[in-house]
Amino acid sequence: MKSDLQEIISGNIHISTIYSIGLHELPPYVTNFLQKYPSVNVRVEYRRSNLVYEDILHNSVDLGLVAFPTQMRQLEMIPFSNDELVLICNPSHPLASRGEVDISEIKDCKIIGFDHDIPSRKATDQIFREHNLDLFPIMEFDNIETVKRAMEIDAGVAIVPQATVLQEINQSTIRGIKLKGDFTRPLAIIHRKGRVLTPAMRKFIDTLTGQVSITDDEVKV
């Protein structure tokens, strides 16, 4: 039987999210949320990172989901997850048999990367600088799906969030290799400061941040 609280939580939630979160991380949380609160309508838009911030700043949406969040005085930012970054390559690549590699070992590899304005690209560039690696992508793409296709044709290697490639790793079309050290991608929920959050929005935030329980099976992607 539904609780009285579940009965009164209804309305709409409009979310703007980057593709990798929206496609690979968000769905199980939305499913879990809607099972508990079926009277809520959740609308998700997939956007480039800079446009997610614009959507929030312009009050075009209720909540935004971003990676490597940028602090802005107009925004409230709520961390909700950290993705492990892994090296991916074709199963026939020389590194494919390795269970773990040091970041310095990719110095002679062909690098596949994201476009310059994508936060994950800025983060990998920073990683390369910190480890004195003079590396630049030979191919640049604006989304994770195209990067994965480049791996499947053995065009090079890439550093990506593990959650975005679990299906391909499980199907053995791409090899995922752990990087020695602590390499993660922080994810955050953003909303405009001063925005009044409805009960539905608050419960959705609670679901993402773990304030509402979700099983391990439900978060598999």
**What is the domain range of residue 204?**
4-81+186-219
At 29, which CATH number?
3.40.190.10
Into how many domains does the chain fold? 2
Q: Are residues 54 and 18 in the same domain?
A: yes
Write down the pLDDT at residue 210.
Answer: 85
Q: What predicted TM-score, i.e. pTM, was given to this entire model?
A: 0.83
Q: Which residues contact 195 (CB under 8 A, 6 or more apart)?
A: 59, 62, 76
Q: Are residues 107 and 192 in the same domain?
A: no
Write down the pLDDT at residue 8.
Answer: 73
**Averaged confidence pLDDT in the chain:** 89
* Residues 128, 108: Cα–Cα separation, whole Å: 13
Q: Are residues 155 and 90 in the same domain?
A: yes
At 96, which CATH number?
3.40.190.290
Q: Are residues 180 and 97 in the same domain?
A: yes
pLDDT band at 183 (very low <50, low <70, confident <90, very high): very high
* Residues 90, 166: Cα–Cα separation, whole Å: 14
Measured in degrees and rounded to the nearest 5, phi and psi for residue 175 equal -100, 130
Q: Are residues 129 and 196 in the same domain?
A: no
- Express each pLDDT in 83-134 by its tens digit: 999 999 999 999 999 989 999 999 999 999 999 888 889 999 999 999 999 9
Q: Are residues 139 and 191 in the same domain?
A: no
Q: Are residues 101 and 115 in the same domain?
A: yes
Write down the pLDDT at residue 166.
Answer: 92
- Express each pLDDT in 205-219 by its tens digit: 999 998 654 333 333
Write down the pLDDT at residue 40.
Answer: 95
Q: Is residue 3's pLDDT more than 80?
A: no
Tell the residue number behind the tokens 């909303």, with chain if given: 191
Q: Is residue 2's pLDDT more than 50?
A: no
Write down the pLDDT at residue 219.
Answer: 36
Q: Are residues 106 and 137 in the same domain?
A: yes
Q: Are residues 16 and 30 in the same domain?
A: yes
Q: Is residue 6's pLDDT more than 90?
A: no
- Express each pLDDT in 73-95 by its tens digit: 999 999 999 999 999 999 999 99
Write down the pLDDT at residue 211.
Answer: 62
Q: Are residues 167 and 202 in the same domain?
A: no
Write down the pLDDT at residue 7.
Answer: 54
- Express each pLDDT in 125-173 by its tens digit: 999 999 999 998 999 998 899 999 999 999 999 999 999 999 999 999 9
Q: Are residues 88 and 169 in the same domain?
A: yes
Q: Are residues 205 and 160 in the same domain?
A: no
